[in-house]
Each structure stands twice: as structure tokens, then as C-alpha cells.
Amino acid sequence: MKRFHVHVSVKDLTQGIDFYSALFGTAPSVTKDDYAKWMLDDPRINFAISTRSGKIGLDHLGLQVDSDEELIAVEAHLKQASPDVIEQKGTACCYAESDKYWVQDPAGIPWEAFHTLGTVPVFGAQPGDQKKAIPVQSACCAPGFGGTSCS
């Protein structure tokens, strides 16, 4: 089953957590020094905020899937929508290891399709090197689109 994903960059994480916890009626399921995530079932959404980006506001949108088979199906749809699909297998970002596909929509918004494989303790740490994070200039770890570092 698919879950819609939204990532918003915020200036103040505490203020963001307070606002979205009140809006959603629940505390985040994951909280880090620079990141928070709500895994909601009604509506079915993976909503994340972070202070990782220099740009405040919408960072990227996506679809989270529960299996490799679902990811392959979503990848096919992405390829129908855009010939410029970028693959990231076993990548680490947002405290998770995932297989991902990225595209950019006509409005310039990055979209990711991903299947989470596990967690990582450090933002952007690559599997096998959990202590060393890769520096990122954005909330997500998207490949660059048209000269931008991410969504």
C-alpha cells in the first residue's frame, strides 16, 4: 500500500513540531535534533519536517511503498511521466536506508518514490559507515535537478 510523503523545511524545529503535532493531534513518531516525522494513517501520509535546507517551505513530495514490487510499479509510472528518472539503491537519508527513484515535475518540484529498508543513526550516513554523514544542503538527499541540490 502506498503512503503519500511530504517534506517541509522549517526554520525552527520546535515551533514546527508544536504546530504540526497540534494540527495532526499527535506527537511525531520520530524526533531528532534536526528532523521530525509523523507516520499518519488518517490521512495515510509520511509527513516530515527538518532544518536541513537553506530554503524554507516545501522541500519535496513522494510516494512511500511497502515492497520492492510496489516500487518497481511506481518506477514504471515515473518513467512514463519523465524520461529523467534517477535511481538510488541502498541510499541513506533522513535517518533511513532506502531504495529510491527521483523525478522532477514540470513545476520543478522533486518527487521521490521509495521503499524503506531500515534505519540509520546519523542523517545521511551511508550503510556500512554509520558514523560518517554525507553533508547535504537540503532536507532530502535528492540528486541535483537542473542545478539545484534538492527539492
The per-residue DSSP string of 100-151 comes to EEEEE-TTS-EEEEEEEEEE-SSTTEETTEEEEEPP-SSSS-PPPBTTBS--
Residue 145 lies in a domain: no
Residue 57 lies in a domain: yes
Q: What is the pLDDT of residue 61?
A: 95
Residue 55 lies in a domain: yes
Residue 146 lies in a domain: no
Q: Is pLDDT above 90 for 148?
A: no
pLDDT single digits (tens) 73-85 = 999 999 999 989 9
Q: Which long-range contacts (CB under 8 A, 24 or more apart) does 33-41 make?
A: 34/123, 35/94, 35/95, 35/123, 37/94, 39/3
Pick the more confident residue, 71 or 123: 71
Output the domain CATH number for residue 25.
Answer: 3.10.180.10
Residue 104 lies in a domain: yes
Residue 141 lies in a domain: no
Residue 128 lies in a domain: yes
Task: Provide, rounded to the nearest whole percent, the portion of the chain with pLDDT above 70.
Answer: 79
Q: What is the pLDDT of residue 63?
A: 95
pLDDT single digits (tens) 32-64 = 999 999 999 999 999 999 998 778 999 899 999
Q: What is the pLDDT of residue 132?
A: 45
Q: Is the separation of the CB atoms in 16 and 10 below 8 Å?
A: yes
pTM of the shown model? 0.78
Name the domain count of the chain: 1
Q: Is pLDDT above 60 for 144?
A: yes
Q: What is the pLDDT of residue 123?
A: 58
Average confidence score pLDDT of the chain: 83
* Domain enclosing residue 120, as ranges: 3-133
Task: Provide, rounded to the nearest whole percent, the portion of the chain with pLDDT above 90.
Answer: 62
Residue 98 lies in a domain: yes
Q: What is the pLDDT of residue 131?
A: 46
